[in-house]
Amino acid sequence: MIKKDYLMRLLKEFLDALAELLYHVKNENNEQILARSEEFYPKYLKQKRSFFIENNISTIVPSIISENIEESVIKCEMLAELLFIDAKQTNNIDIQHDLYQKALFFFDYAEQHSTTFSENRLLKIETLKSILNQ
């Protein structure tokens, strides 16, 4: 129960901070947004942004997905949100495509293993599939 409360507080804190970041997207350039999002990775996912950008999915999975499904779902959703934001701010098409693929993988994992319905998550999965099929 304590672990679940902690996870829910962590998720709420993350979503509040993410909303703040997205608020600034309208007023800041790509570099400023990437700098702001970079702070999220070690705080919430215990790895630097570069770890998630430079490594493939099979290398990233052990740092995000564990035996605790509930925690894994939350971490996957957090990572997917950050990768999605970073992909939109990146000018390099190859990196952008890679980040979109990773975001789709982690959103999909969260969708398959979560016990809660998320219309937002489903919308992002469909958006990512559409982007990647172009």
Write out pLDDT tens, residues 33-43: 888 889 999 99
Mean pLDDT for the stretch of residues 19-24: 81
Q: How much is the pTM?
A: 0.89
Whether 52 and 92 have beta carbons less than 8 Å apart is answered as: no
Cβ atoms within 10 Å, residue 60 = 21
Distances, alpha carbon 103 to alpha carbons 6, 11, 17, 26, 116, in Å: 24, 17, 19, 22, 19
Backbone angles phi, psi at 90, to 5 degrees: -90, 135
Percent of the chain with pLDDT strictly greater than 90: 66
The yes-or-no verdict on residue 60 having pLDDT over 90 is: yes
User: How far apart are the C-alpha atoms of 91 and 43, rounded to whole Å?
Assistant: 25
User: How far apart are the C-alpha atoms of 108 and 103, rounded to whole Å?
Assistant: 8
Domain carrying residue 25: 2-132
Percent of the chain with pLDDT strictly greater than 70: 98
The yes-or-no verdict on residue 3 having pLDDT over 80 is: no
User: How far apart are the C-alpha atoms of 100 and 86, rounded to whole Å?
Assistant: 9
User: How far apart are the C-alpha atoms of 38 and 72, rounded to whole Å?
Assistant: 20
Q: Residue 2 — pLDDT band, cuts 50, 70, 90?
A: low
Mean pLDDT for the stretch of residues 95-123: 95
The count of structural domains within the chain is 1
Q: Residue 1 — pLDDT band, cuts 50, 70, 90?
A: low
Q: What is the pLDDT of residue 110?
A: 96
